[in-house]
A and B are shown apart, each in its own frame.
Chain A
Amino acid sequence: MNTVADLRHTASATRLPVADDFPILARPVHGRRLAYLDNGATTQKPTAVIEAEARFYRESNANIHRGVHWLSQHATELYDGARATVQRFIGAARADEIIFTRGTTEAINLVANTWGRKQLTAGDEILITTLEHHSNIVPWQMLCEQTGAVLKVAPVNEIGEVELAGFDALLSPRTRLVAITHISNALGSINPVAEMVEHAHAVGAVVLVDGAQAVAHQAVDVQALGCDFYAFSGHKLYGPTGIGVLYGRAELLADMPPWQGGGDMIRTVSFERSTYAEAPQRFEAGTPNIAGAVALAAAIDYVQALGMKRIVAHEHALLEHATAALRAIPGLRMVGTAANKAGILSFMIEHIHPHDLGTILDSEGVAIRAGHHCAMPLMTRFGIPGTARASLAIYNDETDIAALVTAIEKAQALFGTRKKA
C-alpha cells in the first residue's frame, strides 16, 4: 500500500512540487491522507510563512513608529518593507496606497465608513453584482441605511456570469460606487473587471474590487485594472489570518476621513482638537498586526518565487481535470460553469444534501465546504439552499481529485442513490 508520502510524490502532469512546503498536509485526518479542497475558505501555510511569523517574535519584536531604540527601528523597517512588498505584488503606484487591515471584510468596511459616509447622500446608487460575498453586500446595505443611498444588483446568467449588458443597464449618473468581486467565491466565475471599471468610470463612479479569491490565483495589477480600491486577505494567499490589505488610489485616500481613532493615526492631539496623519497611517489606528504583515510579505515572496504563471497553468489544468472527473459522476450537477473560471467547483449531488455530503467526504479525509458560502442571495438566484464546493490551490493534485470522486461515490453508495454510469 502506498503511504501518504508516496502518494504525494507520484509523478503527475498537474502537480507543482510544493506539498513538502506545507507541513499540515502530512498529517492524516480520520486516518486518511488529507485532501484539502477548502482553499476558498482559507489556504494552508508554507513553512516559510510559519517561520517568518515565528522569527519576527523571536528576533525582531518591538512596537513600530516609536523608534528611539534599535529593535523598534528594525520592526518598523520590516513592517514598511512588507507594505512595499504588497505594493509591488499588486502593481500599486505608491507604497502609501497600501493600508493594512484585518482582512478583506475590514477593508471593505473601511471604505464604506470613510469614503462612503463622506461622499454618499440620499438617492445616490451603489451597484454590486449577484455574485457578491456577504462581506461585499452587508457593509453597503448598512451604508445605504445611514445615507439614504440605494443598492442596485447586477444579475448573473444561468451559468453564473455577470453579463456586461446587464451590468451596464444599471449604471447611471446616480451610480457613485461600484463594488464587485474579482472572482466569485461560490462559483469561481471571473468578472471582466477591467471592462466593468472602464464602464463605471465613464459614468463617474468609483470602483472597489473584492480580490479575496483572486490574488492567490492570478496576477493582479491594480493600475492595469484601473480600479480605485482593491481589497484582499492574507490568509487566502498562504499568509496568516488577521492581516489583509486595502489598496486605495492616493487622491481618494487623501480626501477620506479617518475611521477608527487612536494612536498612530494622529499628527497632534489636544483636548480641544486632534489632527490626523496622512494615509496610510490615518487608517491604521493602534498597534497593527506587525508579525502578520511580515508573514504576509513572506507569503507573497513564496508565491512570486513559484511564479504566478506556473500557478495559473497548474490550477487551470487541475480545474479542467476535476471538472471532467466530477461530470462523469451520475447524479452530479455543476453549479456555475462560467467560460472564464478559477479553480472553484460548486456542485450538487442528487438526493444528497450538501451537509450530509460534507460529513461523509470528511470521513474520507476530503475537506470541502458545504453550504451557502456566505453568498445567500446567489444561492437564492439558483433556487438552492447551498452547494458542495471544492476549491483548488497550488498543492492540490490529481490524487486529491481522485479522493474527492471516491468519497462522493461512497456517499452515493451509503445513501443508496448510486447509479450506473
Chain B
Amino acid sequence: MSAMDGNLRELYQEVIFDHNRQPRNFHEMPEADHHADGHNPLCGDQLTVYLRIDNDVIQDVSFVGHGCAISTASASLMTEAVKGKTVAEVEALFKDFHALLTDTPPERDFGKLAVLTGVREFPARVKCATLAWHTLHNALIGDHTPAHTE
C-alpha cells in the first residue's frame, strides 16, 4: 500500500461512509429559531443548518442540503457534536476543529469528529469539511448571507 493509499483510507473512514449514506439530523426544522445557508460555489455544495437554542444551549440542530461525502458526513457529525452544548462551547469547538484540520491540533478530545483528521493531508478538501461549521457559525450570530469557506 502506497503512502497515498494510506492517506486515502484515513480520509474515507467507515464512519464517513456511514454518515454520508445515512446522515443524522438530516431534516428541516420548522420550529428553528436560528438558521443559515452555506454554499461552496467552487464545488456546488449547498446546505442549510437549523438550530433551536434555549437558555444559551443548543437544544436541537439539523441540516439539509447536498454535497460530497466529506461535506455531508462532516455536517452530520457536527450536529451530533454540538447538541446540548452552550453557544460559547460550540464556537470554541469550531475554532479547535478548524485548527485540527489546518494548523497545530489543540489538546482536546474531539470525540467522533477526530475521524475528519484525515482531511489534513488533502488541503483542497478542507473547505468540504468546514462548510457546515461556517454555516452553523452564521446561524449562531444571525448572519443570513450564505456562509462560505473562502
Chain A-chain B contacts (Cβ-Cβ < 8 Å), number? 53
Cross-chain contact of A360 among B8, B42, B44 (Cβ < 8 A): B8
A415 to B128, CA, bound (A): 17
B149 to chain A minimum Cβ distance, whole angstroms, is: 13
Q: What separation, in Å, do the CA atoms of A418 and B43 have in the docked complex?
A: 24
B70 within 8 Å of A by Cβ? yes
Asked if B103 is at the interface of the complex by the 8 Å CB criterion, the answer is: no
Central interface residue in A32, A355, A379, by most chain B CB within 10 Å? A355
Are B12 and A414 in contact, CB atoms less than 8 angstroms apart?
yes
Closest beta carbon of chain B to A376's beta carbon, Å: 8
A355 touches B43 (CB 8 A): yes
Q: Does A223 contact B (CB under 8 A)?
A: no
Residues of A within 8 A of B7 (CB): 363
Instruction: Knowing A31-B3, A31-B4, A415-B17 are in contact, say whether A356-B68 is a contact too (CB < 8 A).
Output: yes
- Contact assessment for B43 and A386 in the assembled complex, using a CB-CB cutoff below 8 Å: yes
| Interface flags, A395-421, vs B, CB<8A=1, else 0 | 000000000000000000011100000
Cross-chain contact of B125 among A31, A359, A363, A415 (Cβ < 8 A): A359
Is the pair B4, A355 in contact by a Cβ cutoff of 8 Å? no
Q: Quick check: is B45 within 8 A (CB to CB) of the other chain?
A: yes
Interface residues of B in 1-53 (CB under 8 A from A): 2-5, 7-8, 11-12, 17, 42-46
Asked if B66 is an interface residue, CB under 8 A from chain A, the answer is yes
Tell me the count of chain B residues lying within 8 A, CB to CB, of chain A: 23
Instruction: Please state if A416 and B66 are interface contacts (CB–CB under 8 Å).
Output: no
Kindly list chain A residues whose C-beta atoms are within 8 Å of the C-beta of B146: none
Taking A359-B122, A371-B42, A416-B17 as contacts, is the C-beta distance between A353 and B12 under 8 angstroms?
no
Chain A interface residue count, Cβ-Cβ cutoff 8 angstroms: 20
A355 and B2 contact, CB distance less than 8 A: no
- Closest Cβ neighbor of A357 among chain B residues: B68
CA of A354 to CA of B128, assembled, Å: 12
Q: Does A83 contact B (CB under 8 A)?
A: no
A386 CB contact (under 8 Å) in B3, B5, B44: B44
* A235 in the interface (beta carbon within 8 A): no
A385 to B17, CA, bound (A): 20
Q: Kindly identify, within residues 102 to 151 of chain A, every residue whose CB is under 8 Å from any CB belonging to chain B.
A: none
Does A182 touch B at the CB level, under 8 Å?
no
Interface positions of B from 100 to 150, Cβ below 8 Å from A: 122, 124-125, 128
Question: When the two chains form their complex, are residues B12 and A363 in contact, meaning their CB atoms are under 8 A apart?
Answer: no
A389 neighbours in B (Cβ, 8 Å): none
CB distance from A374 to the nearest CB of B (A): 10
**Complex Cα spacing A363 to B42, Å:** 21
Per the bound structure, the CA–CA distance linking A198 and B130 in Å amounts to 50
Residues of A within 8 A of B (CB): 30-32, 352-356, 359-360, 363, 371-372, 376, 379, 385-386, 414-416
Closest 5 CB pairs of A and B: A385-B44, A353-B68, A30-B4, A355-B68, A363-B4
